[in-house]
Amino acid sequence: MSKGKIIFSASIILTSFLLAPLSTARDTIEVVGSSTVYPFSTVVAERYGRASGKPTPKIESTGSGGGMKLFCGGLGTNYPDITNSSRRIKMSEFKKCQSNGVKGIIEVQIGYDGIVVANSVTAESMDLSRKDIFLALAAKVPGEKEGQLIDNPYSTWKQVNASLPDIGIEVLGPPPTSGTRDAFAELAMEGGCKKIDWIAALKKTDKNAYKQVCHTVREDGRYIEAGENDNLIVQKLEANPAALGVFGFSFLDQNADKVQGAKIESVSPTFESIADKSYPISRPLFFYVKKAHVGVVPGMKGFLKEFTNERAWGEDGYLAEKGMIPLPTEMRKAMAKNTLSLIPMTGQEALK
Amino acid sequence: MSKATEHLSKIKHSLAGRNRAEARFRWYGRIAIFIGLAAVAVLFGDIINKGHGAFRTTYINLDVSYDQDLIGVNNLADSEQLSAGNWDALTKSALRAKFPNISGRSDKRRLNNLLSNGAGFDLKDRLLESPQLLGKTESVWMLADDDIDTYYKSWLAGEAYAARLSDKQVIWIGELHQQGLIKLQFNSNFFMRGDSREPEQAGILGAAIGSFLTLIVTLMLSFPIGVCAAIYLEEFAPKNRWTDFIEVNINNLAAVPSIIFGLLGLAIFINFFHVPRSVPLIGGLVLTLMTLPTIIITSRAAIKSVPPSIREAALGMGASRYQVVLHHVLPLALPGMLTGAIIGMAQALGETAPLLMIGMVAFIVDIPSGFSDPATVLPVQIFLWADSPERAFIEKTSAAIMVLLSFLIIMNTSAVWLRKRLERRW
């Protein structure tokens, strides 16, 4: 056989094996979504795979918004079965799902995550209020007269609040694409922002302007977008004791010898304080399941059963070990029952 | 003085200066090479320093009794019983037997945390391998938890890191150490397993096989297509505006950022042809698009370097153009083409950006066994581990980089070797 013939027949073989897998059905569960839920979802998937001997679910970390987009793309094996989210589904996303034929969506809240503001253990520990955080990081802050907004003039923490140390404001945090950033803006920045009376009043008259003021982070180099990699922020904090960092609680939990969490409103970020909600910057974590895929893609029920099992998401479960804060016992029971009997969302929920 | 001697003395005068300039330039060159080598040495030193620990991992020796009632399994052939079996009970009872004086819920929990939470499943695998052990007792080296592993390694190195452990756990490990029941051992899991969220169970094999399968698809598609295109363009195509236009475009494609090929792959292969996401097939297709220009360009250069006298001689003997190319030009140009292909493959091996779009940046535990099984690749595995909160993943990340680098070194060395071996100079 000449070389030409070899090349020709090789390309025929290649084309045929290229087309072969297009018709095969999927036997692996596909999960997409939030990078915050990813570390928990993956643990459950792995345990489920090892215990059952079935294929381990495949999990992609696409971010909450990206996950919803894929999830709501449609029904069928070309679209994911489950999406993780570090915020509740939005009304617009729910409607998009419905219009693409994704009708029965089961909502599962799995627990909470705390967002911490931390600095190096070699530096002085901070005690911040949400108002301090807002004043230090907002693009525009209230001026001397009521109703007046000026470009953020503060360059040290002492200028923001006389009881804070005299060090320059330098905060490393996630970029706008991150769910952590959304939650930080909503819970920490807005939480501090509405302590200022006239801005809180603005919420009733001009909601957009209110959001603009409360959620916009300054861009003069005092807030540094450090990418989605929280390990990198920890490393930078270690090298620079003057800087503060914003990231998820599980990274603080793992690096307690390098970084310390600042107290927020005099509450330290600990497992207990996030669980009983006395720590103010925490958020719920969810995942969403397509009801129509249960029973079609093998193993969906088993995966849901593993996730909602006490040994997984309970107070002593392996997810708590990984840094997830469990739901209260009653809520867990109700949620597990709801999930396993596959009761979908009605569309009557108060979504944003 | 004549004009000639005048010139001569001028030359003599400037000679020392010119020699000095050359000596200076040589030094600049040496310094440049030194800086380059120093950068490589620092990089490698840092990676090896951080990653060498990952090749050994901590094991704890305990007496395990395979009690049928404890696991709830009396028939090892019954898969239903096996999947419902309480395998963690084996490790828990073994730990309890070793430290009988422990009471209290939280202390018991801390005790259980000494072992990896996959240790129970490892015992299951062991029992399936040798079923006669059911109902018997044996002493087994079992995988320790990653926090224990990190602590034990740092403690042996003299700077103990105990922030994740309780005081009691530290004491227990001390006791085990005195009795010789805890040790570091070669980490075979790292080379035998797929990804895991537990650092002590995480391995590189899944990603390595994923890379291998992806590269096979890439090579089998891009090499024949690239070589055909190069031969046609060099030997058969007329030289006109069209071929110039094609050449400019190929050169452009070689410089396009790789993420663009990922977007293209998403739009064409996944959304239009419905190739499944996250499989080596789609990865290979996308990387083919990326390496094709490199292979075409190097193959054309290899064909160009075959002297025209060879072609003329063959034509003179009455060979057709097709015969000239296939019998004479191609064999002589092949070493150059192969070198190009290997360098293209090495490039493809290190890519993550285009794979992001097509779902290969994912948590995949099962080791892929074919082109349509979900898979990830080595650089993606490095990225995922670098992003994980568990501290023990830091050394895994560096170890995975070492594996990737050694593959790259092997590929690049074989490219040099092939060239030395097969190249003919004219």
* pLDDT tens for chain B, residues 1 to 426: 577 788 888 888 889 999 999 999 999 999 999 999 999 999 999 999 999 999 999 999 999 998 888 888 887 777 777 777 788 889 989 999 999 888 877 788 889 889 998 898 899 888 888 888 888 899 999 999 999 999 999 999 888 888 788 888 999 999 999 999 999 999 999 999 999 989 999 999 999 999 999 999 999 999 999 999 999 999 999 989 999 999 999 999 988 999 999 999 999 998 888 888 899 999 999 999 999 999 999 999 999 999 999 999 999 999 999 999 999 999 999 988 998 999 899 999 999 899 988 989 899 999 999 998 999 999 999 999 998 888 899 999 999 999 999 999 999 998 889 888 887 766
- Asked if A85 and A67 touch (Cβ cutoff 8 Å), the reply is yes
Question: Which tokens in the block code for residue A235?
Answer: 């490393």
Rounded CA-CA distance B54/A101 in Å is 48
Is B197 at the interface with chain A, CB within 8 A? yes
Q: What's the domain range around B27?
A: 3-52
Candidates A21, A60, A255; nearest CB to B361: A60
- Residue A272 sits at the vertex; the CA angle it makes with A266 and A277, to the nearest 5 degrees, is 65
Domain co-membership, B181 together with B239: no
Letter for the amino acid at B131? P
Pairing relationship of beta strands A282-290 and A105-120 according to DSSP bridges? antiparallel
The phi-psi region of residue A147 (left if phi > 0; otherwise alpha if psi is between -120 and 50; otherwise beta) is: left
Give the whole-number percent of chain A exceeding pLDDT 90. 44
Residue B200 located in a structural domain: no
Rounded CA-CA distance A119/A98 in Å is 44
Domain co-membership, B21 together with B132: no
How close B275 comes to chain A (CA, Å)? 6
Domain count, chain B: 3
Give residue A153's Cα distance to chain centre: 31
Domain co-membership, B259 together with B276: yes
Is B226 at the interface with chain A, CB within 8 A? no
Is B279 at the interface with chain A, CB within 8 A? yes
If you measure CA to CA, which chain B residue comes closest to A25?
B276
Question: Among B132, B167, B193, which residue terminates a domain?
Answer: B193
Indicate the pLDDT class of residue A237, thresholds 50, 70 and 90: very high
Indicate the pLDDT class of residue A16, thresholds 50, 70 and 90: low
Helix (H) or strand (E) holding A234: helix A230-239
Helix (H, G, I), strand (E, B) or coil at B61: strand
Task: Find chain A residues with C-beta within 8 A of B113's C-beta.
Answer: 321
> Quick one: angle between helices B280-304 and B330-349, nearest 10?
140
Q: Please give the domain boundaries of chain A with CATH numbers for all domains.
A: 26-113+284-340 (3.40.190.10), 114-282 (3.40.190.10)
Question: Among B193, B215, B249, which residue terminates a domain?
Answer: B193
The full length of chain B comes to: 426
Rounded CA-CA distance A15/B248 in Å is 28
Q: Which CATH number is B405's domain given?
A: 1.10.3720.10
Residue B228 located in a structural domain: yes
- Asked if A118 and A70 touch (Cβ cutoff 8 Å), the reply is no
Residue B198 located in a structural domain: no
Nearest to residue B177, comparing CAs of B114, B89, B120, B107? Answer: B114
Helix (H) or strand (E) holding A11: helix A3-19
Task: Find chain B residues with C-beta within 8 A of A255's C-beta.
Answer: 391
Domain co-membership, B15 together with B64: no
Rounded CA-CA distance A278/A295 in Å is 41
Is B417 buried (19+), middle (13-18) or exposed (0-12) by CB count in 10 A? exposed
Helix%, strand%, coil% for chain A, nearest 5: 45, 20, 40
Candidates A51, A56, A231; nearest CB to B365: A56
- Asked if A53 and A299 touch (Cβ cutoff 8 Å), the reply is no
Give the burial string for B375-398 (b: 16+ CB within 10 Å, else e).
Answer: bbbbbbbbbbbbbbbbbbbbbbbb
Is B112 buried (19+), middle (13-18) or exposed (0-12) by CB count in 10 A? middle
Rounded CA-CA distance B173/B157 in Å is 15
pLDDT of B80: 76
Residue B160 located in a structural domain: yes
pLDDT of A82: 96
Rounded CA-CA distance A10/A122 in Å is 63
If you measure CA to CA, which chain A residue comes closest to B358?
A60
Helix (H) or strand (E) holding A203: helix A197-205
pLDDT of A112: 92
Helix (H, G, I), strand (E, B) or coil at A205: helix
Domain co-membership, B162 together with B216: no
Domain co-membership, B136 together with B247: no
Tell me which residues of chain B, numbers 116 to 145, contact chain A at a CB-CB cutoff of 8 Å. Answer: 117-118, 121
Tell me which residues of chain B, numbers 229 to 268, contact chain A at a CB-CB cutoff of 8 Å. Answer: none
pLDDT of B252: 92
How close A144 comes to chain B (CA, Å)? 43
The beta-strand segments (E) located in B177-330 are 182-186
How close B17 comes to chain A (CA, Å)? 48
Residue B209 located in a structural domain: yes
Domain co-membership, B273 together with B125: no
pLDDT of A1: 45
How close B311 comes to chain A (CA, Å)? 18
The pLDDT tens digits of the residues spanning A299-334 come to: 999 999 999 999 899 888 889 888 888 998 899 999
Domain co-membership, B240 together with B285: yes
Is B315 buried (19+), middle (13-18) or exposed (0-12) by CB count in 10 A? middle
Is B330 at the interface with chain A, CB within 8 A? yes
Candidates B281, B322, B363; nearest CB to A58: B363
Residue B277 located in a structural domain: yes
pLDDT of B274: 86
Domain co-membership, B104 together with B238: no
- Checking A176-182 for CB contacts under 8 A at 24+ apart, the result is A176/A225, A177/A63, A177/A65, A177/A228, A178/A35, A178/A63, A178/A228, A179/A34, A179/A35, A179/A36, A179/A63, A179/A64, A179/A65, A179/A85, A179/A86, A179/A87, A180/A36, A180/A86, A180/A115, A180/A246, A180/A247, A180/A248, A182/A87
Residues 6+ apart with CB under 8 A from B26: none
How many helices, marked H, and strands, marked E, lie in chain A? 17, 13
- Of the two residues A145 and B333, the one the predictor is more confident about is B333
Question: Among B161, B193, B225, which residue terminates a domain?
Answer: B193
pLDDT of A10: 57
Domain co-membership, B67 together with B176: yes
Domain co-membership, B16 together with B73: no
Letter for the amino acid at B366? D
End-to-end CA distance of chain B: 51
Max Cα–Cα distance, chain A, nearest Å:
89
Rounded CA-CA distance B230/A195 in Å is 69
Please, which residues bridge with residue B64 across strands? B138
Size of interface A-B (CB pairs under 8 A): 110
Domain co-membership, B32 together with B98: no
Is A202 buried (19+), middle (13-18) or exposed (0-12) by CB count in 10 A? buried
pLDDT of B85: 79
